[in-house]
A and B are shown apart, each in its own frame.
Chain A
Amino acid sequence: MSGRRWRGVAVLLIAVASATAAGAQGEAPTGTVGRRPVVIGSKPFGESYLLAEMFAQILEARGHAVTRRFGLGGTEIIFPALRQGDIDLYPEYTGSGLLVILKAPPEPDPVKVFDIISREFRSRFDVRWLPPLGFENTYAMSVRTEMADRLGMRTISDFARVSRDMRAGFTADFIGLPDGLPGLRAAYGLDPGTVNALAPAVKYQALLAGSVDIIDAYSTDGLLGRYPITVLEDDRRFFPPYDAAAVVRGALVREQPAVVAALGELSGRIDVVRMRRWNERVEVNGEEAARVSRDALIEMGLLADAARVAGPAAGGGEGGGTSLWMYLWSRRAELARLTARHLLLAGASLLAAVLVGVSLGLAVSRSRLAPTFVRAVGGLQTIPGLALLAFLLPLLGIGFVPAAVALFLYSLYPIVQNTVTGVQEADRGAASAADALGMTARQVLWQVRVPLATPVIMSGVRTAAVLNVGTATLAALIGAGGLGDPIVAGLALSDTRMILSGAIPAALLALAVDWTLGRVQHAVTPRAFRSR
């Protein structure tokens, strides 16, 4: 496995030079019918992992090769990835398909919704909706039972009347999407005094602690039944039906009908009670998604008891009793692989940024346009990470290349900025004396300004490198791999150990990179300044 991955990485590295290669990547496999592994994606939350894992295991049990690309960040990332052929299928919800992807008006009737999306997805995107799995996971606007009782609050309308004095804790998706807060505002006049963006993993804690008064829970959340929480009734039937189903690329349906048949075994088999129980095992008990999925398939009679679990999510330590260090140790091979991948991602992008950034910095540093140019490069820095990735997606797809390009763009600024500053500020007296004594402009640049600027340039490179190692964890959201994988998965599955198994190596890596580049900085600093 790791050998093949490394060769893949090498190929991708070469592809950095020609970004277009990535676009072609999605189309290429069309000819190799049957033998290509089915690529399964999931969004970065627990239920999506569970369902995707069930898809994967039933396909494996039916003899299909499978590649898992789980934790892809949000509908705006994962659906374009499906259209481009970076993944073949993933679990989606009919309401999201209607409102978020088609941007169609809300429709309360589940049958009509499924009808619309089946038709539109097929004709517009060549994507098929398989028959729903059997449960709905809609938004469950939830408040503390104590507060609901005290205020006699039963419906969303009741809440909307007093919402001005309330604090909301919503997931980032919910705050922005039409089937979330903007829609609720229009339908109910619901307008909380303050809105906090919360990660799914912490919203229940925030609600119970009284930090917020309302959260956007999901009706299948495992935690819903365990706490004194009341779900408000959607009395105006604002939320459309959110039936879970697999969405599949049309090409896969045509080339590998057996895959569709295997997935079809799940249709109509999962009810909301089962799903909530399985979610609870993952989210509350901290069991692994792969194990719970296997148990679920066995419980539904789709998998024989003895069937073995495959896939990366299954390779972890057993039980919750082992210490964090034992857990990290048991995953050392995987973590080493992720660290190497992470380093490659951060390193390749940094190297490109150093080459381009220093050249650009030197080119503009003596020009009057320098401040304007530095500001323009700084502007890149202000684009939020996910927005930049989503922007690059139509051009480069998902995976290593777009992540490296995004990191490259982010690391340009500190490098360009420090190059320009370093060259401009480098001992003006020395540079002008060198000029006055007959050095050519080129000699002044290369023999005076650049050597004197090198420590400043290197400190920019160090800043960029440490930022890169941190930001590269976000790359997991577009399937680039690296130490962000366990962080994203751990956040989705409320698994602190899993989060730490990515976060601790990432932090150590940042320290190691900083230390190493500190040595490099020392080495390139002119000898005259080292003893100071």
Chain B
Amino acid sequence: MPSSPALSAAGVVRRYGAVTALDGVSLDVQAGECVALVGESGSGKSTLLRAFNRLTDPDAGTVCVSGDDVRQVDAVRLRRHIGYVPQDGGLLPHWTVLRNVALVPSLLGQPDVEAVASRALELVGLSPAEFGARWPHQLSGGQRQRVAIARALAASPRIVLLDEPFGALDAITRSDLQQVFASLRARTGFAALLVTHDLHEACLIADRIAVMRAGRIEQDASPREVVTRPATPYVAELLTRSHVRLEWVS
């Protein structure tokens, strides 16, 4: 039996009043694959991401997760099986680091959630003994994002959505976290959809890049293909503006 894609959008339209955020978008993410959604603010990339865990519902088109139409699935159950990392980390400020990481396993009623959370913390390079009892406000920005990633992965989801996860970090921290993320994916093999405005990051992490503009996908191809053969003048312009270098994809 051919396995269905981890994430699949077909002809998705989403309007906010007079603004069309998604204008008939189709995109597949295969199991174990990492796809980067690249584009400027307002291009619709976050809206598309949020359609997969039903933080937004499309006006038209179909959205499927692991082959199931998301409208047929209970939103709360769906979300518990999809990892999610927002830009600001979204840690609950009144919970300790360990309790934050244990959130989804506890929601799923898993046993021994503290041990599960401790292992997840170790995965992102934070010692549970040192960081487990801290409050989020006692962490650096990079540490907070590591905790957010640990929280997204704690229940071992097969799919993870990341919305500009490293966007607010300084260059060195960002580079560290990109490597952590890449090695985690290599180890656990989850499918990932990553929203970013950083083409360099997309080239580094993703297997495929989908360039979005005004609610449409301009090009959907491997990083190498995008960099060497931009499909539209807009993609070419984006490459120039991002000072893309060939060695990023070699």
Contact = CB atoms under 8 A, between A and B. Distances in A.
Interface of A: 427, 429-430, 432-440, 443, 447-448, 451-452, 526-529, 532
A430 B93 contact: yes
Nearest to B54: A436
Contacts of B135: 527-528
Contact of B80 (A429, A437, A447, A448): A437
B94 A438 contact: no
B108 to A, nearest CB: 8
A526 B107 contact: no
Contacts of A437: 79-80, 84, 103-104, 107, 151-152
A436 B93 contact: no
A429 B84 contact: no
26 contacts: A427-B93, A430-B91, A430-B93, A432-B86, A432-B90, A433-B86, A433-B92, A433-B148, A434-B103, A436-B79, A436-B86, A437-B84, A437-B107, A438-B76, A438-B77, A438-B107, A439-B76, A443-B107, A447-B92, A448-B92, A526-B94, A527-B94, A527-B135, A528-B95, A528-B96, A528-B136
Q: Which of A439, A452, A527, A528 has the most B CB atoms < 10 Å from its CB?
A: A528
A177 B93 CA distance: 59
Interface string B67-85: 0000000001111110010
Given A436-B55, A437-B84, A528-B135, A452 B104 contact: no
Contacts of A532: 137
A170 to B, nearest CB: 56
B47 interface: no
A528 B94 contact: yes
Contacts of A448: 92
Query: Which interface class (under 10, 10 to 19, 20 to 34, 35 or more) fits B?
Result: 20 to 34
B122 to A, nearest CB: 20
Contacts of B88: 429
B79 A430 contact: no
A183 B107 CA distance: 74
B196 interface: no
A42 B79 CA distance: 69
A529 B92 CA distance: 12
A482 to B, nearest CB: 39
Contact of B94 (A429, A433, A435, A452): A452
Q: Which of B55, B78, B86 has the most A CB atoms < 10 Å from its CB?
A: B86
B41 to A, nearest CB: 18
A450 to B, nearest CB: 10
The 4 A-B pairs at the shortest CB distance, nearest first, are namely: A433-B90, A438-B80, A526-B94, A438-B79
A528 B79 contact: no
A451 B95 CA distance: 10
B90 A529 contact: no
B84 A529 contact: no
B53 interface: yes
Interface string B94-120: 111000000110010000000000000
A528 to B, nearest CB: 4
Given A432-B90, A436-B53, A437-B80, 20 more contacts: A427-B92, A429-B86, A429-B89, A429-B90, A432-B86, A433-B86, A433-B92, A433-B148, A434-B103, A436-B84, A437-B107, A438-B77, A438-B78, A438-B81, A438-B104, A439-B76, A447-B92, A526-B94, A527-B135, A528-B135
Interface in B111-150: 135-137, 148
A354 B150 CA distance: 39
Given A436-B53, A437-B151, A452 B93 contact: yes
Nearest to B134: A528
Contacts of B94: 451-452, 526-529
A440 B80 CA distance: 10
A529 B93 contact: yes
**Majority SS at the chain A contact face:** helix
A436 B152 CA distance: 10
A529 B107 CA distance: 25
A434 B92 contact: yes
Q: Which of B81, B89, B92, B104 has the most A CB atoms < 10 Å from its CB?
A: B92
A430 B148 CA distance: 11
Nearest to B53: A436
Contacts of B86: 429, 432-433, 436
Contacts of B92: 427, 430, 433-434, 447-448
Interface string B139-174: 000000000100110000000000000000000000
A433 B93 contact: no
Contacts of B84: 433, 436-437
Contacts of A427: 92-93
Nearest to B95: A528
Interface in B24-79: 53, 55, 76-79
Given A437-B80, A438-B80, A528 B137 contact: yes
A437 B76 CA distance: 8
Contacts of B148: 433
A361 B77 CA distance: 29
A429 B96 CA distance: 16
Contacts of A451: 94
A443 B86 CA distance: 19
Contacts of B55: 432, 435-436
B89 to A, nearest CB: 8
Contacts of A439: 76, 103, 107
Contacts of A438: 76-81, 104, 107
Interface string B190-218: 00000000000000000000000000000
A65 B247 CA distance: 104
A436 B137 contact: no
Contacts of B104: 437-438
B81 to A, nearest CB: 8
